[in-house]
Amino acid sequence: MAGFFIKNLCFLFVIVTFCGCPKRAQLKIPKFITTKSIINNLKNQGAKRTQMSGVLLAKQRGLKAILPGTTIDVIVQKPSSFYFSIRSFFEQPMQVLTSDSKQIYALDLTDLKNPQLWSYGVEEMSFFNILPIPLEADEIVNIFLGIAPLENAEISQIYFDEYKHTYALLLTQEAGIVTKIVIDAANDTLLKLTKINAAGQVVYDITYSNFSEVKGINFAHKWFFHIANDKDEYDIILSAKNLSFNGKPLDDDVFKLEI
């Protein structure tokens, strides 16, 4: 079960690092910018992002188990509910991963005569058996909504790129985890995110692009994911085929699975 979902669902949450970007000219923070103002702006931006639903197209490099052009039905809703369904060649659900904020459900419909359903508590470490990276349910939601991971984090460094008009922030979290984020200074939109563990290894990288304004908020319509673990490296590109944002809140029952 674990190996199957690692190869077929891990691509939903990853990206290309910005650590290797070429050096730019002098970086400095304008005098009118303060740590408090940056945090407030990012929190306000995050509060405006509540839900995303629709269809994504997945293309990959380095992951043979997923064919280019895989279609994924998706719903993510704050604080920690989500639904990801990989379609088969016949446009039917083939593998499904969901969270109703309390339980994580993994459904394998590859063999319709013998469907397999697993469930885990959201707080259980066994959730990590499904994915090869330590992602929490709310973290998955925040990634797709483009919300900066400010909870339980302190800003240790801030850089301002006066040419690209972006901020680069280092967020220090529990257990020595560091998250690097790049923000568009004009509208406080998350552009890039890199999570690094206490050993200095990149857990995942995410680059956001193809932004479109929806109800006054800039939402990404394309995500470039990169993940590197002890065995493999994966590059996945997710592109919007048909997405809507900040719709009517859905009941928890929408995210529960039964056979």
CATH of the domain at 219: 2.50.20.10
What's the pLDDT score for residue 125? 43
Cβ proximity of 8 and 65 under 8 Å: yes
Q: Is 10 a member of any domain?
A: no
Q: Is 201 a member of any domain?
A: yes
What's the pLDDT score for residue 235? 84
What's the pLDDT score for residue 41? 92
**pLDDT score of 170 more than 80:** yes
What's the pLDDT score for residue 226? 87
* More confident site: 25 or 41: 41
What's the pLDDT score for residue 134? 67
Q: What Cα–Cα distance (Å) separates residue 1 from each residue in 63, 129, 131, 237?
A: 17, 9, 11, 24
**pLDDT score of 27 more than 80:** no
pTM: 0.82
**pLDDT tier for residue 124 given thresholds of 50, 70 and 90:** low
Cβ proximity of 186 and 165 under 8 Å: yes
**pLDDT score of 259 more than 90:** no
SS3 string of 57-119? EEEEECCCCCCCCEEEEEEEECCCEEEEEEECCCCCEEEEEEEECCEEEEEECCCCCCCEEEE
**pLDDT score of 231 more than 90:** no
Q: Is 254 a member of any domain?
A: no
* Tokens describing residue 245: 């944002």
What's the pLDDT score for residue 99? 92
* More confident site: 67 or 153: 153
Q: Is 9 a member of any domain?
A: no
Average pLDDT over residues 20-48: 69
Q: Is 155 a member of any domain?
A: yes
Closest to 35 (Cα-Cα) out of 151, 148, 158:
158
H or E element, residue 47: helix 35-47
* More confident site: 51 or 34: 51
Q: Is 258 a member of any domain?
A: no
User: Assign residue 155 a region: left if phi > 0, alpha if psi is -120 to 50, beta otherwise?
Assistant: beta
Q: Is 6 a member of any domain?
A: no
**pLDDT tier for residue 133 given thresholds of 50, 70 and 90:** low
**Structural domain of 134:** 19-243
For 43-74, how does the pLDDT look when each residue is reduced to its tens digit (9 = 90+)? Answer: 999 999 999 999 999 887 755 545 557 899 99
What's the pLDDT score for residue 130? 53
Average pLDDT over residues 37-45: 92
Q: Is 94 a member of any domain?
A: yes
* More confident site: 185 or 133: 185
* Total tally of structural domains belonging to the chain: 1
